[in-house]
Amino acid sequence: MRPFKYTRATTLPSAIKELSGNAQSRILAGGTNLLDLMKEDVERPEALIDITHLPHSAVKSLSQGAAKSGVLLDALGKNSETANHLLIRSQYPMLSQAILAGASAQIRNMATNGGNLLQRTRCPYFYDVAMPCNKRTPGSGCGALEGFNRMHAVFGWSDKCIAVHPSDMAVALAALDAKVLAQNEAGQQRRLTFDEFFRLPGDAPEKDNNLQHGDLITGIELPASNFADHSYYAKVRDRSSYAFALVSVAAGLQLNGKQISDVRVAMGGVAHKPWRALTAEKMLKGKEATEANFKAAAKAEMAAAKPHEYNKFKIELGERAIALALTNALNYGS
């Protein structure tokens, strides 16, 4: 590991000022991804700004009186605190399930909500500094494009990068229409939809998202949920713990009798960002909640997938995972 300057931030503005003052500085939250990247020589920060000692509250209700109006997740809240919070378990069960499907108990106790969104891809070529990788070293090429691309994207990739976003939590947040709150040195607060926050690789795969250097994530806002009664997070992986998703699906149904009045489907392990399955959602809205309709919607969603040599299996796996998540959401709690 290379030498770096360490600063323990005492206030939010001082952390942002310190971050903005040096393009080679990085925020240190739980450190569960950043420190691994530093050990592998992928990240070489000159300065780390430790924000873990700033005061925070894991989950705050935004309700006023009896009105249901959502919750605010603190960026510094730990993944485990968030997943186990009563409000999250009762109102946003797919989020709780998604977080608990990730990593291990020890890592979730360290990892923060903000850091989870900003964790880097697990593409093995990105981690191996001897290999070409446009995300790590722009212009060097993409080792995965013609390499072993079993874990890689089937939607939204470019010939510059076919990596997937590794977060489980972000998939559920995408389905729930979460917004990311970010603050910059001038004190400006931005509220970004997931579409505005995450990006596809295009010609600049080195950028995972649309934050500017100096932006600090302060929180994640969730609108009131209508999916608490019928939601499910399905994760398919090579082993049942400590493994990233091959394909995952966050599904939520709002039912009027047997009819689907609203539906959310988001996928992980298939794109550079959490992938909203808008084709499937559109097909299901207004239809009856039946297994046949779930399967038809899943097939239609995956019809647009463009796989690579070693990940063609993700098409059938994606179809099955969408249908499974919707079926389990329908039967949730029964």
Judged by the rule CB under 6 A, the positions of this chain that interact with ligand SF4 are 121, 123, 125-126, 133-135, 142-144, 161-163, 205
Three-class SS of residue 261? strand
Residue in 93, 102, 147, 307 binding ligand FAD, rule: CB under 6 A:
102
Altogether, the residues listed in the chain come to a count of 334
Please name the residues in contact with 180: beta carbons below 8 A apart, sequence gap of 6 or more.
117, 191, 192, 194, 197, 217, 220, 221
DSSP secondary structure code for residue 159 in this structure: T
Pick what 75 binds: ligand SF4, ligand FAD, none; C-beta below 5 to 8 Å, kind-dependent: ligand FAD
Q: Is 173 in the site for ligand FAD (CB under 6 A)?
A: no
Residue in 166, 252, 269, 274 binding ligand FAD, rule: CB under 6 A:
166
Buried b (16+ CB within 10 A) or exposed e, 268-284: bbbbbbbbbbebbbebb
CB 148, min distance to ligand SF4, A: 10
Q: Give residues 105-134 in contact with ligand FAD (rule: CB under 6 A).
A: 107, 110-112, 114-116, 118-119
The H-assigned helical ranges of 255-312 are: 278-284, 291-302
Q: Give residues 48-77 in contact with ligand FAD (rule: CB under 6 A).
A: 75
Pick what 244 binds: ligand FAD, ligand SF4, none; C-beta below 5 to 8 Å, kind-dependent: ligand FAD
- 94 near 232, Cβ under 8 Å? yes
Q: CA 192, CA 179: separation in Å to the nearest integer?
A: 5
Closer to ligand FAD by Cβ: residue 165 or 230: 165
Q: CA 175, CA 179: separation in Å to the nearest integer?
A: 11
**CA angle, corner 154, sides to 153 and 157, nearest 5?**
65
Tokens 């050990």 sit on residue? 39
Pick what 114 binds: ligand FAD, ligand SF4, none; C-beta below 5 to 8 Å, kind-dependent: ligand FAD
Angstrom CA distances, 97 to 70, 144, 207, 246, 297, stand at: 18, 30, 28, 17, 23
Q: Is 167 in the site for ligand FAD (CB under 6 A)?
A: yes
Q: Give residues 238-297 in contact with ligand FAD (rule: CB under 6 A).
A: 242, 244
Q: Is 169 in the site for ligand FAD (CB under 6 A)?
A: yes
Structure-token pair, residue 38: 């530093």
Pick what 231 binds: ligand FAD, ligand SF4, none; C-beta below 5 to 8 Å, kind-dependent: none
Q: What are phi and psi of 6, to 5 degrees?
A: -110, 130
- 166 near 122, Cβ under 8 Å? yes
Q: Is 29 in the site for ligand FAD (CB under 6 A)?
A: yes
Pick what 205 binds: ligand SF4, ligand FAD, none; C-beta below 5 to 8 Å, kind-dependent: ligand SF4
Chain centre to alpha carbon of residue 94: 13
Structure-token pair, residue 277: 């399955």
Q: Is 31 in the site for ligand FAD (CB under 6 A)?
A: yes
CB 32, min distance to ligand FAD, A: 3
Stretch that binds ligand FAD, among 4-12, 102-110, 133-141, 202-210 (CB under 6 A): 102-110
Residues that bind ligand FAD (CB under 6 A): 26-34, 36, 75, 79, 102-103, 107, 110-112, 114-116, 118-119, 166-169, 216-217, 242, 244
